[in-house]
Amino acid sequence: MSTVPDSQLSTPAPSKFRLALQEFLDGSGGTVLYFLVIVLCLIGAWEGAKWLGQETDYRLEFGPVKISLNMTRDLNMPHLKDIAEALSKPSQRQGPPLIEILVEKASYTLRLAVIGFTIGTIIGLALAILFAHSRLLERGLMPYVVASQTVPILALAPMVIIWSENLFGSREIGMPMITAYLAFFPVTIYTLRGLSDVPPTALELMKSYAATRREILWKLRFPNAVPYIFTALKITAPASVVGTIIAELPTGIQDGLGGAIINFAQYYVSGPSRLWATNFVTAMAGILFFVTVAVTEWLVVRWKRPSNRMDRWVDTFLRNLRRVVPLLRD
d(CA 218, CA 241): 31
Over the chain, what is the mean pLDDT?
A: 84
* Segment among 15-29, 43-57, 216-230, 237-251 with least mean pLDDT: 15-29
Q: Using pLDDT thresholds of 50, 70 and 90, give the confidence band for residue 253.
A: confident
CA distance 93 to 85: 15
Cα distances from 55 to residues 61, 197, 304, in angstroms, run: 13, 58, 52
Q: For position 154, what pLDDT does the model report?
A: 83
Give tens-digit pLDDT for 209-230.
Answer: 888 888 988 989 999 999 999 9
**DSSP bridge pairs for 62:** 65
The DSSP-derived string for 97-165 is: BHHHHHHHHHHHHHHHHHHHHHHHHHHHHHHHHHHHH-HHHHHHHHHHHHHHTTS-HHHHHHHHHHHHH
User: Hey, what amino acid is at 33?
Assistant: L
* Distance in angstroms (rounded) separating the CA atoms of residues 252 and 171: 9
Q: How many CB atoms lie within 10 A of CB 137?
A: 13
Least confident stretch, 19-23, 229-233, 268-272: 19-23
Q: Place 314 in a pLDDT band, splitting at 50, 70 and 90.
A: low
Whether 257 contacts 106, CB under 8 Å = yes
Region of poorest pLDDT, from 9-13, 44-48, 80-84, 202-206: 9-13
In the structure, what pLDDT confidence band is assigned to residue 267 with cuts at 50, 70 and 90? confident
